[in-house]
Amino acid sequence: MSKTALKKFVSDAPKAELEAQLVDLYVRFPVVKEYYDFIFNPKEDKLIQDAKIKISNEYFPVRRKRARGRRSIAQKFIKHYLKLGVESHLLADLMLYNLEIAQSFSSEKNVADTFYKSMLNSFDQAIIYISQENLLQDFNKRIAIIYTSVETQRWPNLEDFSRVLDKIDV
């Protein structure tokens, strides 16, 4: 069904039928339920806090012995929150938190080269998002600390991190 056909259907359908369909969608599809729950009662701080706990658990597990250290977990939250329209300041905070917790992990454990590459991708994404949303002033210090930590830990892709920073001149 095209967008035009949907608009025509919605304009022609009786209100009661539309209400019934909307409630049906809400009940059937968890994504729709989550969307409406977010729209009517955002609780963005709670969403971000839950995401931080799950990301932290990826690197420093509470219930299992071995850390997984998957960047994909944080990326799923970030992508999902972008779609939902979570406040940009909170989302930028989550992006930087992901990098900070990963750096804590890498300072304690031996990590593979793919880890450094994926963290570079996360850093690049965070820098682009923060600069697009005009949040550089708010996050300047945290970005500088992340970069200093990359230097201190002697990450093999330090030059690439430097190039990313050159985009914004922190």
Count of Cβ atoms closer than 10 Å to residue 17 Cβ = 11
DSSP class of 85: T
Q: What is the mean pLDDT of each run of 10 residues along the chain (170 residues)?
A: 89 90 92 86 90 93 83 91 92 96 90 91 95 94 95 93 83
Among 109, 94, 98, 93, CA closest to 58: 98
